[in-house]
């Protein structure tokens, strides 16, 4: 049993999956726990070594000619020049752009790739690739090891990540990290709806909750907001409540 645990927790899940009837094995939830544990152990071991980092979210479908792709490259380059690691979902589109920018500046370019039936394949610019089967394990690593978050235009996945991180900040489960929405044309409508329907009409959120988010089109402002936070508060030293 001890050997089994050591192998699984050190990334040996695939071995046991191959040696068993895979369909039977993963139907059993108690056994599934070992695969989850393995993902957390492997990813925590890697991510705990990267130093201060910023996560950049955005669409996997954005093309290299798009202005937001180019902006993500430039933002990541600037962050890397200031010794900040850049974390993405590891796939194409905005994720590729941010990994490219960080790698081109000689910085740490982390890609937290997820297994999906369509769209997601790891990009070649992530010099620290980490692979996930479970979305929730991947999400923990985005939040646990970052001191700032940049949300480029994106779809359901980007919205999911935005609202999850915003909720954690609003409920004080994690510190009030910079949450930057890049692209006024893309994000303004959503913020206006939130202000009207959530804050004003229904009082579902407090009047100051939308102040947790910064909306900008300025690459320089993105970098300065994050650098200012790092200068004032430094790399988080205490474990946030969400992970305690």
Q: How many CB atoms lie within 10 A of CB 5?
A: 13
Among 188, 183, 164, which residue's Cα sits nearest to residue 71? 183
Higher-confidence residue: 233 or 58?
Answer: 58
* H-only helix segments in the chain: 2-7, 13-19, 22-27, 29-47, 67-81, 94-104, 135-144, 156-170, 184-193, 219-233
For the chain, percent helix, then strand, then coil, each to nearest 5? 55, 15, 30
Is-contact 84 188, C-beta < 8 A? no
User: Residue 123 — left, alpha, or beta (φ > 0 → left; ψ -120 to 50 → alpha)?
Assistant: beta
In the chain, where the domains are located: 2-44, 51-235
pLDDT of residue 118: 64
pTM of the model: 0.86
* H-only helix segments in 171-214: 184-193
Mean of pLDDT values over 129-150 = 95
Q: Which residue has the tokens 């300065």?
A: 224
Per-residue pLDDT tens for 196-234? 999 999 999 998 999 999 999 999 999 999 999 999 886
pLDDT of residue 30: 77
Is the pLDDT at 171 greater than 50, yes or no?
A: yes
Six token digits for residue 24:
């039977």
Domain 51-235 has CATH 3.30.70.980: no
pLDDT of residue 1: 43
Per-residue pLDDT tens for 14-36? 555 555 555 555 566 777 888 89
Separation of alpha carbons 164 and 72, rounded Å? 21
Q: How many CB atoms lie within 10 A of CB 104?
A: 14
Among 52, 51, 53, 56, which residue's Cα sits nearest to residue 180? 56
Mean of pLDDT values over 52-63 = 97
Res. 119 pLDDT band, cuts 50 70 90? low
End-to-end alpha carbon distance in the chain: 28
């Amino acid at each position: 049993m001890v050997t089994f645990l050591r192998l699984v927790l050190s990334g040996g899940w695939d071995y046991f999956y191959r040696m068993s009837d895979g369909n039977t094995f993963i139907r059993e939830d108690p056994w599934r726990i070992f695969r989850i544990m393995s993902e957390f152990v492997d990813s925590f071991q890697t991510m705990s070594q990267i130093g201060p980092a910023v996560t950049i979210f955005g669409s996997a479908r954005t093309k290299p000619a798009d202005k937001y792709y180019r902006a993500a490259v430039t933002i990541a380059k600037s962050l890397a020049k200031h010794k900040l690691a850049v974390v993405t979902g590891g796939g194409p589109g905005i994720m590729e752009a941010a990994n490219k920018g960080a790698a081109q500046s000689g910085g740490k370019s982390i890609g937290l790739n997820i297994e999906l039936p369509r769209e997601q394949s790891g990009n070649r610019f992530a010099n620290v690739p980490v692979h996930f089967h479970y979305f929730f394990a991947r999400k923990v690593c985005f939040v646990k090891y970052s001191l700032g978050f940049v949300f480029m235009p994106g779809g359901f996945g980007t919205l999911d990540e935005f609202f999850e991180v915003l909720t954690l900040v609003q409920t004080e489960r994690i510190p009030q990290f910079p949450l930057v929405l890049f692209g006024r044309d893309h994000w303004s409508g959503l913020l206006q709806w939130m202000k009207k329907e959530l804050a004003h009409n229904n009082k579902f959120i407090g009047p100051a909750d939308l102040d947790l988010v910064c909306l900008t089109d300025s690459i320089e402002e993105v970098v300065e907001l994050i650098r200012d936070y790092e200068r004032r508060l430094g790399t988080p030293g205490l474990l946030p409540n969400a992970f305690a």
